[in-house]
Structure 1
Amino acid sequence: MVKHTPMLAQPQPGAPKVYRYVQLHSLADTVSGLRTTSYDGVAEIWFANLGDAAAMFTSDHYNAVVAADEAHILDRSKTVFLYAYEKPIP
């Protein structure tokens, strides 16, 4: 992932700004009685708005370069996106 990470954390000039990029790697440990996902990890990529996310993930550069690299490290047929906003709880 050394090559892949900068592609998302520091995208092409003119691409939407990525405000935060976090990789969450799953633990081998589990909690008894709780179901565990089969995902081995999740990436959080923060943009200013949904339009910026759409621009990034539908761009020619993403599809030709980033997605092509992802094919070497993950099963793209199982890739799903969750668009969300952060709601801090006081």
Structure 2
Amino acid sequence: MATARWNGEIIAESDDTRIVEGNHYFPIESVSSQYLKPSETTTVCSWKGTASYYTLHVDGKDNPDAAWYYPDPKPEAAQIKDHVAFWKGVDVTG
């Protein structure tokens, strides 16, 4: 089972992640939505499409843009639609 932790809390947990470019993409339903705050940040990947971000908010602390997802991925990345990945100090094991 893959687990994402930050600031002492489990943010996501799933035994059905998709690994793309070394990152675990967690199904959105396995992510604790109370820790996610929408961000205005977007980036573009040439083969996955445009990524949107969340700021993690846990126990009064923010980790800006520490989670990302592709709301409308290109066909080559269709397997990560409705999935979220983490970085910026989020400990992902599994």
Same structural fold, with TM-score higher than 0.5 when normalized by the shorter chain: no
* Structure with greater helix share of residues: 1
More strand by share: 2
Structure showing greater radius of gyration is 1
Normalising by structure 1, we get a TM-score of 0.28
